[in-house]
Amino acid sequence: MRSAMNRRDFVLALSAPLALAQIGAGAQSAAPARLKGRIRQGVTRGVFGRGMGLEDACRDAARLAVTGFDLIGPQDWPTLKKYGLVPSMYPPGPGGTIPDALNRRENHAKLEASLRAAIDECAANKVPNIITFSGNRRGMSDAEGADNCVEFLNKVKAHAEDKGVTISLEILNSKVNHRDYMFDHMAWGVDVVRRVNSPRVRILYDIYHAQIMDGDIVRTIRDNIALISHFHTGGNPGRNDIDDTQELNYRYVMREIAALGFTGFVTHEYTPKPGSDPIAVLRKAIEICDV
């Protein structure tokens, strides 16, 4: 006969929503959630709100059955791994910064050295992706910037292929958050990645940013899934919770991503609304995306 604790674990194993409901602020002894697993979900630091330490964030992420943690540097990888979390995206730095990156040839020598070293570090620690950016225009034409990005990526793609690490070029909006950023429309990034023609140079498709600039999210994903390595989520407007208080239907978007057989990470990168319980908001986001 099962003990009371075993019966509880058995019920949790049968019902992901019930398991998720047991986990919130103050529910420190709850058993880990069980998810369907069709979408590999990850988190960033921002979803936990202000003031939560990394150890606590990792503990809560693991209890919620999250498997990835984006944009955490090598010094903290041991903490992630302690909780069974994959460091799913190497943070900015080696691949440049949002305003200053691949589209300027004067950056190439420095970035090539730093990116190669970071790719080696990723390979040694089973980190699947490293982030990079186009950089801002600053008067440069999109065509020249694309040529410069292709030139750079062609220099490093063989090393990424040899090491099994994916260079992920992120789309960002230039309307609200990142004025003058060059890769602000999907067509530009698709052109760059197709010209580089490497399985290890792909696009980080941030759904929040893409919604602001292009919309038509599901059709764009369907048409370009082979070129996408990674997804970020966020509600629009405001980059807050991904529930029914914003314009994106994330449950539908996730169903389409799952149906396409995507095996990378979908990482939550939003800021909880002021006054909300970050763990409750994250629990809801995970449930929405667990299709």
Burial of 195 (0-12, 13-18, 19+ CB in 10 A): middle
pLDDT the model gives residue 128: 98
On the question of pLDDT at 20 being above 80, the answer is: no
| pLDDT > 70 in the chain, percent | 89
Q: What ranges do the domains of the chain cover?
A: 36-289
What's the average model confidence in pLDDT over 116-145?
98
What single DSSP character describes residue 26? T
Alpha helices in the chain (DSSP H): 4-14, 16-21, 54-63, 77-82, 108-125, 142-163, 186-196, 207-213, 217-224, 250-259, 278-289
Residue 280 has a CB neighbour count (10 Å cut-off) of 15
CA distances from 136 to 24, 154, 185 (A): 40, 20, 13
What's the average model confidence in pLDDT over 137-151?
98
User: In the structure, what pLDDT confidence band is assigned to residue 23 with cuts at 50, 70 and 90?
Assistant: very low
Burial of 53 (0-12, 13-18, 19+ CB in 10 A): exposed
pLDDT the model gives residue 32: 54
On the question of pLDDT at 5 being above 50, the answer is: no
On the question of pLDDT at 141 being above 70, the answer is: yes
Q: Are strands 201-206 and 86-89 parallel, antiparallel or unpaired?
A: unpaired
**What is the distance between the terminal CA atoms of the chain, rounded to a whole angstrom?**
34
**Strand partners of residue 70:** 89
Q: Does domain 36-289 have CATH number 3.20.20.150?
A: yes
Six-digit token string for 34: 């069980």
pLDDT the model gives residue 34: 84
Q: Cα separation of 218 and 85, whole Å?
A: 28
**Strand partners of residue 265:** 40, 230
| 58-102 tens-digit pLDDT | 999 999 999 999 999 999 999 999 999 999 999 999 999 999 999
CB within 8 Å of 264: residues ≥ 6 apart: 40, 128, 129, 228, 229, 230, 231
